[in-house]
Amino acid sequence: MIELYRLGDCPTCDDIEAALVELVVAHQVIVLEPGQGPAGLPADTPLPAIRDNGRLIYEAAITGYLRELAKFVEEWRMFQADACYLDPATGETC
């Protein structure tokens, strides 16, 4: 499961959390107080941070991670439906 470690009063954290909600992916939000270290993460981990199956993402890398996740989710949902689809890259149908 995706875990978002964030501070309570953090507009950037709000945006990240909103992106995860918009993607409709299972995630857990752990709100930390200033000075409180993220449990289970290295003490010097900057917040916000995301842990996804042992992978730790923070700072500028979060933007790329969210783009990568959105692409994965889109492809996953396209092929999980019990319906025909149009491949946007080639125009082929199933």
pLDDT by residue (tens digit) across 30-52? 999 887 877 788 888 899 999 99
pLDDT by residue (tens digit) across 10-33? 999 999 999 999 999 999 999 998
Find all residues with CB under 8 Å of 6, minimum gap 6, and list them.
13, 16, 17, 29, 30, 31, 32, 47, 48
- Residues 49 and 58 sit within 8 Å (Cβ to Cβ): yes
Residue 6 phi/psi, 5-degree rounding, is: -145, 165
Look up the CATH architecture of domain 2-80.
Answer: 3-Layer(aba) Sandwich (3.40)
